[in-house]
């Protein structure tokens, strides 16, 4: 059974009298353990699609089913619970909470889900070691490098063992060396932990790390290629 299924997914934004179609009916399915890249130029709708799959936003039409649950019919609180339990996020600007230490940032999803402090800390520590930032646990985000921040963000995205990891231009704000390391890490974690990854990028070399590449343009798929 696929982890993620999208059927005729549509999203339009209305601003005043203007209506912009961001997604014009896309359908696809992602199997457990897949590493899928959404590739396309700016404004093609890949980020929008990512948001809908990650339970961050609701579709204007069609449906998204994550782990057997239809996100389209959910209210805000239910979507929050889906994000908390089944989705992990990695963003271009790392988006760690600047007020928390790296350790607290990583443990946060577990804490929000109600896990005991000690257990959450233990998990965070283990993942930090895996992604290679255990020496930075007591630092604040602004005290570490961009590559380290992104590794911390990956640890945070995985600490609660989500069904789906959503990554939006995860290397967009990193130099090529650090970008390559982050991609390698994502790829390795995908294989080791069997976590399903959905990644959006405009760069072909980033998409190359994925096992499947979906090309997008003007809110639609242009191609679907297994690598």
Q: Which residue(s) pair with 223 in the sheet?
A: 215
Q: For residue 91, state whether it binds other proteins (rule: CB under 8 A).
A: yes
Q: How many residues bind other proteins (CB under 8 A)?
A: 31
The one segment of 17-25, 83-91, 144-152, 185-193 that binds other proteins by CB under 8 A: 83-91
Does position 119 interact with other proteins (CB under 8 A)? The reply is: no
Would you say 32 and 196 are in contact if contact means Cβ atoms under 8 Å apart? yes
Question: Residue 14 CA to chain centroid, in angstroms?
Answer: 26
Minimum distance from residue 151 beta carbon to other proteins (Å): 17
Query: 3-state class of 140 per DSSP?
Result: coil
Residue 68 to residue 11: CA distance in whole angstroms: 21
When binding is defined by CB under 8 A, the residue of 74, 111, 163, 193 that contacts other proteins is: 111
Neighbours of 21 (CB within 10 A): 16
| Closest CB to other proteins among residues 84, 212 | 84
Min CB(192)–other proteins separation in Å = 23
Q: How far is the CB of 96 from other proteins (least distance, A)?
A: 8
* Segments in 45-136 forming alpha helices (H): 46-53, 76-86, 102-112, 117-131
Determine whether 34 is exposed, middle or buried from the number of CB atoms within 10 Å of its CB (0-12, 13-18, 19+): buried
Please choose, out of 33-41, 79-87, 178-186, 213-221, the segment that lies near other proteins by the rule CB under 8 A: 79-87
Site residues (vs other proteins, CB under 8 A): 47, 56-57, 76-77, 80-81, 83-85, 89, 91-93, 95, 97-100, 104, 108-109, 111-113, 117, 140, 142, 156, 160, 168
């Amino acid at each position: 059974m696929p982890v993620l299924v999208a059927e005729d997914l549509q999203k339009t934004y209305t601003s005043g009298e203007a209506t912009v179609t961001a997604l014009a009916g896309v359908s696809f399915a992602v199997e457990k353990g897949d590493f899928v890249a959404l590739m396309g130029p700016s404004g093609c709708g890949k980020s929008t699609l990512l948001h809908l799959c990650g339970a961050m936003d609701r579709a204007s039409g069609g449906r998204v089913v994550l782990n057997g649950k239809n996100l389209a019919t959910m209210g805000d609180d239910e979507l929050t619970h889906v994000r908390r339990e089944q989705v992990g996020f990695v963003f271009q600007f790392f988006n760690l909470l600047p007020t928390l230490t790296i350790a607290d940032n990583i443990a946060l999803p577990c804490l929000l889900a109600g896990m005991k402090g000690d257990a959450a800390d233990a998990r965070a520590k283990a993942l930090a070691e895996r992604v290679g930032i255990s020496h930075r646990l007591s630092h604040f985000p602004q005290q570490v490098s961009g590559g380290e921040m992104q590794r911390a963000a990956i640890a945070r995205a995985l600490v609660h063992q989500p069904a789906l990891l959503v990554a939006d231009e995860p290397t967009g704000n990193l130099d090529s060396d650090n970008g390559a390391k982050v991609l390698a890490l994502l790829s390795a974690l995908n294989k080791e932990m069997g976590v399903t990854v959905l990644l959006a990028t405009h760069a072909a070399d980033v998409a190359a790390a994925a096992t499947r590449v979906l090309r997008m343009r003007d809110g639609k798929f242009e191609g679907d290629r297994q690598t």
